[in-house]
């Protein structure tokens, strides 16, 4: 009788430990997914800030606001991810990177852009000496936790900035 009770207690303890370990594995999996999602969003925010600053530098370095040259319409780029353990980089479409598109709209008087795609919104809002730009940055990426290769929906982070030039 005593041996049977000890055997039943040992089996019960093993079943409880299996349940606890399964719960720990499930929670750690959810934490990894949440961390990956948070990392991708934070990376998209940082890329949007970087591309905003880069676009502002491109606009100020261009003479299209004063001299009739072509103005900056936008800056586009793809940042490919890194495949761990190899020297190759990942493909953006398969969820291993980011696609960035920047669009610029000009507000102000005396903007003499010659390219056709430049958006000049209004000329009555600012003085001649202070042109402004609206910079829209779109950072697209695919969810790394989505397991169908290439079929993951795009997630878009949008940042709009009004900048006085």
Phi, psi dihedrals of residue 82, rounded to the nearest 5°: -105, 130
What is the pTM (predicted TM-score) of this model?
Answer: 0.76
What is the secondary structure of the chain as a DSSP string? -HHHHHHHHHHHHHHHHHHHHHHHHHHHHHHHHHHHHHHHHHHHHHHHHHHHHHHHHHHHT--TTTSS-PPP---EEEEE-B-TTSSPBPPTTTTSEEEEEEEEEEESSS----STT-EE--SSSS-TT--EEEEEEEEEEE-TT--STTTSPEEEEEEEEEEE-
Task: Output the pLDDT for position 143.
Answer: 82
If you average pLDDT over residues 125-140, what whole number do you get? 78
Range with the poorest average pLDDT among 15-29, 81-95, 98-112: 81-95
pLDDT in tens, 5-26: 889 999 999 999 999 999 999 9
pLDDT in tens, 148-164: 555 778 899 999 999 88
Task: Output the pLDDT for position 41.
Answer: 92
Considering only residues 8 and 70, tell me which one the structure prediction assigns the higher pLDDT.
Answer: 8
């Amino acid at each position: 009788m005593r041996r049977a009770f000890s055997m039943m207690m040992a089996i019960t303890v093993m079943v409880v430990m299996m349940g606890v370990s399964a719960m720990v594995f499930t929670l750690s999996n959810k934490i990894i997914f949440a961390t990956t999602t948070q990392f991708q969003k934070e990376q998209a925010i940082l890329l949007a800030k970087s591309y905003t600053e880069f676009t502002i530098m491109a606009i100020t370095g261009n003479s299209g606001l004063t001299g009739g040259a072509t103005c900056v319409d936008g800056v586009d780029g793809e940042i490919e991810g890194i495949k761990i353990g190899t020297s190759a980089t990942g493909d953006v479409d398969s969820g291993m990177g980011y696609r960035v598109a920047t669009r610029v709209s000009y507000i102000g008087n005396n903007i003499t852009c010659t390219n056709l795609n430049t958006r000049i919104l209004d000329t009555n809002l600012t003085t001649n000496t202070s042109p402004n730009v609206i910079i829209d940055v779109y950072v697209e990426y695919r969810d790394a936790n989505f397991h169908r290769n290439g079929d993951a929906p795009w997630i878009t982070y949008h940042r709009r900035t009004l900048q006085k030039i």
